[in-house]
């Protein structure tokens, strides 16, 4: 149901085959703009508890625990809070839109597939490969970061030892397929969520003067050194926030392997609200209260340098013994969790690209256990880049440029999800369907996606301003290198598809967007037989009844 419309009685669920099994198969069917080769299907092994914990804590990592310090130093506590609120609100709208699409089309590749299907195949190719490349590169970075966190206790052991240990552990998890990913994320997310709740409570105690060292702080640091630094510093917060929020879209990607997406995905998308509100907004607000923005140690708060993490240092400065080590352990766990998500995110996206003829054919292979085997091997191979710091003195520089390839790509991906949802709604209406037929509809509807798209564009503009402000080519490309990469990928596929003789490749010439009338809204649709256990929608006879019930309905929608 879209915002501002009364809820209506749910119509008969759409079904592709009422006699089919409860878990639909997507083998040997026509893809959105190509043909998927016959392969073993991905296993639908993710239960509701897995999906909810992936949504609420799956991507919480060094971006929040460490990167927050750099954002605090550059923008001040006011900029930090506003930046996370804006990006969080934008992402909430994006995830709601993605949830609607993922429930109706729980296919592998998620947003990449939706971009191909509802926007343009070339744009889908660019977004899909940019997303995959980002995760391929993030894996070695996160493994290296995990090794750095260990040096908090043992800086006498070569980091290469820990890189090896973590690579072996991540490889072992892949043996168990998606169920292994789900169980590991379930456990690690519980640990991260518990630790963050504990830190928020502890931060309040520290701010009120209840720590062994220090006295009442209150909002002192909002006035001295101040809530804001410069406009450039405010704009810089958006990149840090995007990195910290990155991976939240994993719930949509996991839809293809969810046991019952119609039930688990809506619940998971609702958890994103609590994750954004409680952990990111409240958490960073507490950090801004107890850590001065001009603290020298914040200058080193990047990567996984936990010695500069505002979460760790604030506890140390309060004179609380033991807890800094606990928080450092949580950061280590968080980094490993993100590395685990990187393997999942890249392997599933690359497999979907290959299945649509946009990557080497052998990468589309899925074994009988539901594992995209060659894609996983490719991701693990990229993990060996974590040894680059041991092999070269310029390892940090190489990593910086590799990570630049995924710099602002999150804004492109989230904006593309919103635009794909807008195009889907337009095509859905054009083909004679109504929102009432959807098992799950984004609460803010098409308007919410327009707002989300606009905010993504504004964030890209803000980051562009930050990138050109120093008038330094190196700084610009370190921040904005992903933009020319996405454009290059887009035009490469346009040229290739325009000249390809492959019948699976849709030659659309240089048309920018698919026409609404040529968008197919029925292929790959979820089996409506799964809707039998979904609760019925409430019917409101008048707008007055709808508005009267709005407060309680909002509460129920977030639980």
Give which of 313, 468, 300 is closest to 396, Cα–Cα.
300
- Cα–Cα distance measured from residue 454 to residue 478, given in angstroms and rounded to the nearest whole number: 24
Compute the distance between CA of residue 340 and CA of residue 108 in angstroms, rounded to an integer: 18
Give the pLDDT band (50/70/90) at residue 260.
Answer: confident
Helix segments in 208-282, DSSP class H: 220-221, 231-245, 250-253, 261-274
34: helix, strand or coil: strand
Question: How many other CB atoms sit within 10 Å of the CB of residue 461?
Answer: 13
How far, in Å, CA of 265 to CA of 274, rounded? 15
Q: Judge whether residue 31 has pLDDT over 90.
A: no
Relative to beta strand 34-35, strand 30-31 is: antiparallel
What is the pLDDT, as a whole number, of residue 146?
A: 81
Residue 258 β-bridge partners: 46
Confirm if 516 and 436 have CB atoms less than 8 A apart.
Answer: no
pTM: 0.84
Q: Which range is least confidently modeled, 15-24, 43-52, 478-487?
A: 15-24
Q: What is the mean pLDDT of residues 334-347?
A: 85
Q: At 394, is the pLDDT very low, low, confident or very high (cuts 50, 70, 90)?
A: low
DSSP 136-184: HHHHHHHHHHHHHHHTTT-TTS-HHHHHHHHHHHHHHHHHTHHHHHHHH
| Burial class of residue 538 (count of CB atoms within 10 Å of its CB; 0-12, 13-18, 19+) | middle
Please, are residues 92 and 427 in contact by the beta-carbon 8 Å criterion? no
* Rounded Cα gap, residues 537 and 488, in angstroms: 46
Tell me the two tokens of residue 358: 């946009």
Closest CA to 77 of 272, 251, 226, 216: 226
Q: Is the bond leading into 127 cis (omega within 30 degrees of zero)?
A: no
Grade residue 24 by pLDDT with cuts at 50, 70 and 90. very low
* Residue pointed to by tokens 């089996």: 527
- Structure-block tokens of residue 93: 């709208």
Q: ∠ at Cα 342 (177, 117), nearest 5°?
A: 85
Question: Which pLDDT does position 392 carry in this prediction?
Answer: 57
Tokens of 363: 């990468």
Q: Say if residues 135 and 119 touch (Cβ distance below 8 Å).
A: no
Q: Read off the pLDDT band of 310 (50, 70, 90).
A: confident
pLDDT exceeds 70 at position 20: no
Asked if residue 371 lies in contact with residue 174, where contact means CB atoms within 8 angstroms, the answer is: yes
pLDDT beyond 60 at 35: no
What residues have CB less than 8 Å from 58, skipping those under 6 apart?
185, 189, 247, 248, 250, 251, 337, 341
CA dist 352 and 202 (Å) reads 44
Cβ partners under 8 Å of residue 100, min gap 6: 421, 438, 440, 441, 442
Give dist(CA 290, CA 341) in Å, integer. Answer: 31
Q: Please classify residue 408 by burial: count the beta carbons closer than 10 Å to its beta carbon, then call 0-12 exposed, 13-18 middle and 19+ buried.
A: buried
* Tokens at 285, concatenated: 């607000």
> Largest alpha-carbon pair distance within the chain?
73
Name, of 37-41, 123-127, 441-445, the range with top average pLDDT: 123-127
d(Cα 293, Cα 448) in Å, to the nearest integer?
A: 34
Distance of CA 529 to the CA centre of its chain: 30
Q: How many angstroms separate the Cα of 279 from the Cα of each of 285, 353, 420? A: 10, 33, 28
The more confidently predicted of residues 427 and 39 is: 427
Does the bond joining 268 to the residue before it have cis omega, within 30 degrees of 0? no
Is 431 a residue whose pLDDT tops 80? yes
Q: At the top level of CATH, which class does the domain 30-532 belong to? A: mainly alpha
User: Mean pLDDT score of the chain, rounded to an integer?
Assistant: 79
Q: pLDDT band for position 198 (50/70/90)?
A: very high
Residue 268's Cβ-count burial label (10 Å; 0-12, 13-18, 19+) is: buried
Residues whose CB falls within 8 Å of the CB of residue 354, separated by 6 or more in sequence, listed in order? 360, 361, 362, 363, 364, 375
Q: Dump pLDDT digits (tens) for 200-246.
A: 999 999 999 988 887 899 999 999 999 999 888 898 888 888 888 88
Measured between alpha carbons, how far is 118 from 116 in angstroms, rounded to an integer?
6
Written as six digits, the tokens of 428 are 């859905």
Q: Identify the CA nearest to 506 among candidates 32, 15, 20.
A: 32
How far is 386 from 390, CA to CA, in rounded Å?
A: 8
Q: Is 203 exposed, middle or buried (0-12, 13-18, 19+ CB in 10 A)?
A: buried
Closest CA to 204 of 323, 273, 286, 297: 286
Burial of 279 (0-12, 13-18, 19+ CB in 10 A): buried
Task: Measure the CA–CA gap between 403 and 133, rounded to whole angstroms.
Answer: 10
Q: Which residue has the higher pLDDT, 143 or 402?
A: 143
| pLDDT at residue 141, as a whole number | 82
The more confidently predicted of residues 411 and 239 is 411
Work out the end-to-end distance of the chain between its first and last CA atoms, rounded to an integer number of angstroms: 17
């Amino acid at each position: 149901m879209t915002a501002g419309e009364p809820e209506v009685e749910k119509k008969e669920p759409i079904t592709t085959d009422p006699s089919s099994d409860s878990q639909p198969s997507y083998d040997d069917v026509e893809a959105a703009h190509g043909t998927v080769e016959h392969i073993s299907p991905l296993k639908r092994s993710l239960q509701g508890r897995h999906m909810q914990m992936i949504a609420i804590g799956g991507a919480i990592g060094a971006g929040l625990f460490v990167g927050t310090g750099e954002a605090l130093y550059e923008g001040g506590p006011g900029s930090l809070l506003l930046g996370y609120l804006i990006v969080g609100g934008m992402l909430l709208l994006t995830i709601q839109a993605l949830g609607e699409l993922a429930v109706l089309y729980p296919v592998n590749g998620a947003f990449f597939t939706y971009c191909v299907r509802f926007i343009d195949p070339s744009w889908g190719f660019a977004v899909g490969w940019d997303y995959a490349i980002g995760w391929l590169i993030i894996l070695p970075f996160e493994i290296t970061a995990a090794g750095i966190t260990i040096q908090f206790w043992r800086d006498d052991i070569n980091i290469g030892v820990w890189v090896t240990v973590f690579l072996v552990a991540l490889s072992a998890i892949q043996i168990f397929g998606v169920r292994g990913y789900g169980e590991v994320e379930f456990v690690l997310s519980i640990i991260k969520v518990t630790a963050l709740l504990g830190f928020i409570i502890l931060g309040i105690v520290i701010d009120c003067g209840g720590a062994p060292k220090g006295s009442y702080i209150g909002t002192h640091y909002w006035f001295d050194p101040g809530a804001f630094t410069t406009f450039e510093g405010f704009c810089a917060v958006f990149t840090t926030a995007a990195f910290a929020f990155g991976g939240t879209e994993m719930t949509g990607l996991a839809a293809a392997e969810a046991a019952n997406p119609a039930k688990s995905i809506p619940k998971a998308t609702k958890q994103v609200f609590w994750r954004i509100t409680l952990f990111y907004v409240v958490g960073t607000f507490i950090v801004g209260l107890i850590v001065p923005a001009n603290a020298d140690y914040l200058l080193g708060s990047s990567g996984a340098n936990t010695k500069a993490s505002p979460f760790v240092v604030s506890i140390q400065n309060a004179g609380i013994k033991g807890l800094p080590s606990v928080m450092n352990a949580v950061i280590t766990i968080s980094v490993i969790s993100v590395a685990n998500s990187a393997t999942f995110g890249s392997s599933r996206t690359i497999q979907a690209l290959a299945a649509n003829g946009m990557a080497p054919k052998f990468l589309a292979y899925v074994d009988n256990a539901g594992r995209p085997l060659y894609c996983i091997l490719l991701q693990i191979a990229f993990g060996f880049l974590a040894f680059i710091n041991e092999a070269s003195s310029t390892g940090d520089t190489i990593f910086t440029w590799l990570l630049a390839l995924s710099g602002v790509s999150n804004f492109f991906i989230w904006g593309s999800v919103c635009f794909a949802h807008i195009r889907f709604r337009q095509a859905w209406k054009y083909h004679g369907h109504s929102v009432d037929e959807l098992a799950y509809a984004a609460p803010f509807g098409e308007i919410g996606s327009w707002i989300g798209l606009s905010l993504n564009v504004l964030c890209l503009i803000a980051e562009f301003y930050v990138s050109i402000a120093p008038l330094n080519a190196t700084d610009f490309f370190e921040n904005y290198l992903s933009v020319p990469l996405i454009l290059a990928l887009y035009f490469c596929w346009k040229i290739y598809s325009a000249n390809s003789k492959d019948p699976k490749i849709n030659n659309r010439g240089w048309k920018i967007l698919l026409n609404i009338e040529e968008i197919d809204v029925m292929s790959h649709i979820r089996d409506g037989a799964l809707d039998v256990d979904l609760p019925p929608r409430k019917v409101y006879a008048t707008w007055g009844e709808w508005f009267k019930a709005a407060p309680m309905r909002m509460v129920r929608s977030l639980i």
